[in-house]
Structure formats: C-alpha cells, structure tokens
C-alpha cells in the first residue's frame, strides 16, 4: 500500500509510523483489502457465468416455470441474438416468488417517491426494474449482463457509476426523509467482469460496503438469492398495506 501511494506521489504516513509499523488505519485498510480479495476470489469468481452457462440455466428455468413475465432480447445481431439471459432469469424468479403481486420489469418512467399524494423525490435515471412499480417502490434494481462484450469499454464502466449515482440519491432519501427503497445490482459475464474488469468488481464491493447498494448478486447467485429476496418484498408489501 505504501508503494502504491508513493507511485502516485502521495504520502503514506497515515498508514505507517516513523518506525515502519502499521498504524490503526493501515491495519484497517489491510484487513479490508484482504477481505475484498477473498470475497472476489472465493465467492464472486466461481459464480460468474458465460453465455453458454447462462443459456442452460435460462432454458431449464423457462421449461420448468412456463413464465408469462417479459423475456427481453439482448441487443446483439445475427447468431448472437438471443434472450437476455440474466435479465430473463431474474424476471422469472421474481414472477415465481411474488405471490401474484405486480412488478414493473422494465419501467419507462423515472422512479418517484411520494408523501401524502405529493411528489417527494424523483431519481435522475430510469432503473431496470421496480417492485411493485416505479411509484413508491419497495425495491429497484440494475442489471449489467455483458456476455458478448469483447473489450471493457466506457459503456460497461458507466454502468458501475450509474448504480453509484442511484445509490447516492437513495441514501439522501433515506437519511433526510426516513424512506428506505431497497437497491440491488445484478451483474454477470465472466470475461467482462473477471478477466477484463476486475478492478470494477473492487469498486462494486466498495459501493456495497459504503451503503450505496443493499445487495449485489453475481451471476449464478441470482438463483441462490432471488427467491428469498422477493419473499421479503412480498412481506413488506403486506405490512405496508395493513399499516
């Protein structure tokens, strides 16, 4: 860490004292970086899928659930044109676990929170999904699947910082108005995120620990976690309707 700061022309006195021993801040940073590396290497990396793996899970789930929810297509052309696998998997899991409650799988309007019938906050961006809808949602989410991307370009990087912007707006809403809208990020594509964009996975983990996103789901993890997450949403709707 001291070498990295030195290479940037920055002082490392806050990390190490005059005797070369780590300060409390230095030990804290070392523990965090070690934790982050362990999470990425032992948990995230094994769960990231490629297009073939995602297609297999999508096909099995579609056959089992016979969904009526939207199955969006990706933006590819030719032989790469196919369902957006991760988005479709998420949509199917939400439908299967939402007990018939509505869900806006592709909001075409900005997310708005109201109080006593009047607008209170409106987010700057449209999100990829809102439950039960974009007006007074319990949860909103962003999906970043890039199975056919061959380079880690600005569009992919922008996706990370768009989620950061949403998180900062939702933090302001939570701190100043006492309203907590759950905020989720789902990402997949082994080549894009692990091989080419691992530093951005670090930023995503940082966002999670900074409180700008409630939960991040990596690849196959959506199958593991979405049923329980959606069940929590359903319980929240029922509590809100009876309060």
Rounded to an integer, the average pLDDT of 8-21 is 87
pLDDT in tens, 164-179: 999 999 999 999 999 9
Question: Mean of the per-residue pLDDT values for the chain?
Answer: 94
Number of neighbouring beta carbons within 10 Å of residue 195: 11
| pLDDT band per the 50, 70, 90 thresholds, residue 16 | confident
CA angle 86, 50, 184 (to 5 degrees): 35
pTM (predicted TM-score): 0.93
Given a contact cutoff of 8 angstroms between Cβ atoms, the answer to whether 215 and 184 are in contact is yes
Q: In this predicted structure, what is the pLDDT of residue 152?
A: 80
**pLDDT > 90? residue 19:** no
**pLDDT > 80? residue 226:** yes
Query: What are the residue ranges spanned by the domains of the chain?
Result: 2-43, 49-242
Q: In this predicted structure, what is the pLDDT of residue 240?
A: 86
Q: In this predicted structure, what is the pLDDT of residue 75?
A: 86
Q: In this predicted structure, what is the pLDDT of residue 12?
A: 84
Q: Is the peptide bond before 68 cis (omega within 30 degrees of 0)?
A: no
| pLDDT band per the 50, 70, 90 thresholds, residue 190 | very high
Number of neighbouring beta carbons within 10 Å of residue 30: 13
């Amino acid at each position: 860490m001291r070498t990295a700061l030195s290479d940037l022309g920055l002082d490392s006195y806050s990390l190490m004292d005059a005797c070369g021993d780590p300060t409390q801040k230095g030990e804290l940073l070392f523990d965090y970086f070690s934790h982050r590396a362990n999470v990425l290497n032992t948990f995230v990396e094994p769960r990231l899928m490629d297009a073939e793996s995602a297609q297999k899970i999508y096909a099995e789930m579609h056959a089992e659930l016979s969904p009526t929810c939207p199955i969006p297509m990706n933006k590819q052309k030719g032989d790469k044109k196919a369902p957006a696998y991760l988005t479709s998997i998420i949509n199917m899991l939400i439908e299967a676990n939402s007990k018939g409650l509505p869900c806006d799988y592709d909001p075409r309007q900005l997310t708005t929170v109201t109080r006593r019938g009047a607008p209170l906050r409106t987010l700057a961006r449209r999100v990829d999904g809102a439950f039960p809808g974009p007006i007074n949602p319990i949860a909103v989410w962003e999906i970043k699947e890039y199975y056919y991307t061959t380079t880690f370009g600005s569009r992919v990087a922008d996706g990370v910082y768009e989620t950061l912007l949403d998180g900062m707006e939702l933090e302001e809403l939570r701190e100043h108005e006492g309203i907590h809208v759950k905020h989720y990020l789902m990402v997949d594509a082994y080549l894009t995120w692990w091989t080419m964009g691992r530093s951005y996975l670090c930023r995503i983990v940082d966002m999670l620990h900074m409180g700008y996103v409630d939960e991040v789901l990596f690849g196959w993890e959506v199958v593991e976690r979405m049923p329980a997450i959606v069940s929590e949403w359903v319980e929240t709707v029922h509590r809100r309707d009876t309060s």
